[in-house]
Amino acid sequence: MKEEEGHVQLEKFVKSIEGTSNIYVGIDPGATGAIAFLHPLDLKKSIAIDIPTVRIVTGRKTASGAPSYRTQTDLCALWDLFVICKPLWASLYVVIEQQQPMPRDTALTGFTVGKNFGMWPLFLYSHGIVHDTLRPMVWKRIQGLVKKDKEAARLQAQKLFPVASLKRKKDHNRAEALLIAHAYRNKDNKTKKVS
């Protein structure tokens, strides 16, 4: 069965939860990252979709002489996804995985990581959407995934979120976005019970 486009999945999801509150959203902000939406009434019905991207031709050539490409976020398509969610904006609690360049990264990679992470708080703040960040080690500790690979995250997310499209190994970004939102929701609920 062919997987539905991200915006189609999101439209169905939004219709199924209109009128509810406290919708947790997890974002893996990488260049090929994902956005996850936790179903407020039944976690098993949660979804994750890829962040829309476009391929841009660079001025460089590959070793074979073919044009070289780089992937970047398709901001127009991303905006379209958030327009679908507009009726829910006041109910969203968004958590973004905190990113930072690594010492081994090239200057271009470091710049890209900063740009992909940095656009989210500005975008969400400008639309009054509640958001926070979560360090990778924090959500991995909560999920029991410290020192485990991306495949372990995907397999765990498949068990927790059977409706989400996580069948392919490359769906690890979707899995991580779901687990980020789930960890934040659990952390947030514990904080509310203590206060």
Structural Rg of the chain based on CA atoms: 17
Protein fold of 6-190: Nucleotidyltransferase; domain 5 (3.30.420)
Mean pLDDT value of segment 141-169: 91
pLDDT at 189: 66
Q: Are strands 23-28 and 34-37 parallel, antiparallel or unpaired?
A: antiparallel
Q: Where are the domains of the chain?
A: 6-190
pTM of the model: 0.85
Q: Give 67's strand partners.
A: 61
pLDDT greater than 80 at residue 101? no
Q: Is the pLDDT of residue 194 over 80?
A: no
Element (H, E) at 132: strand 130-134
